[in-house]
Amino acid sequence: MAAPGAGGGELQGSLGEPPGDPLRVGRVRFLNTLPLFGPIELGLAPFSGVLLNGSPAALAEAILRNEVDVAPIPIVTWARHPERLVPLSGLCIAADGPVRSVLLFSKGAPHPQAVVRVAVPTDSLTSILLLRLLAPRIWGPGTRVELRPMEPMLRPMLREAAAGLLIGDAALLAAAANPELHQVDLGALWKEVSGTPMVFALMVARAELRDDPRLWQLHAELKESLRIGLQRLELFAARASAMDLHLSTAQALTYFQGLRFALGEREIAGAETFLREVQTLGGLATTTLRPLDGPVSADRSILTGGA
Indicate which CATH number applies to the domain containing 72. 3.40.190.10
Res 291: pLDDT: 97
Query: pLDDT tens per residue, the chain (307 residues)?
Result: 233 333 344 565 555 555 569 999 999 989 999 999 999 999 999 999 999 999 888 999 999 999 999 999 999 999 999 999 999 999 999 999 999 999 999 999 999 989 999 999 988 889 999 999 999 999 999 889 999 999 999 999 999 999 999 999 999 999 999 999 999 999 999 999 999 999 999 999 999 999 999 999 999 999 999 999 999 999 999 999 999 899 999 999 999 999 999 999 999 999 999 999 999 998 999 999 999 999 965 443 333 343 3
**Strand locations in the chain (E):** 12-13, 24-28, 50-54, 70-74, 85-95, 102-106, 115-121, 144-150, 163-167, 182-185, 198-206, 259-260
Of 194, 225, 256, at which residue does a domain stop?
Answer: 194
Strand (E) or helix (H) holding 228: helix 213-231
Are 266 and 199 contacting, i.e. CB atoms less than 8 angstroms apart? no
300 vs 52: CA distance, rounded Å: 29
Q: Are residues 166 and 236 in the same domain?
A: no
Residue 164 within a domain: yes
Strand-strand pairing, 198-206 and 70-74: antiparallel
CB atoms within 10 A of CB 39: 26
Give backbone dihedrals phi and psi of 167, rounded to 5 degrees, phi first: -130, 165
Stated pTM of the model: 0.90
Show the domain range for 172.
Answer: 102-194
- In sequence order, the β-bridge partners of residue 25 are 51, 70
Helix, strand, or coil here: 198?
A: strand
In a domain, 2, yes or no: no
Q: Which of 134, 167, 194 is at the close of a domain?
A: 194
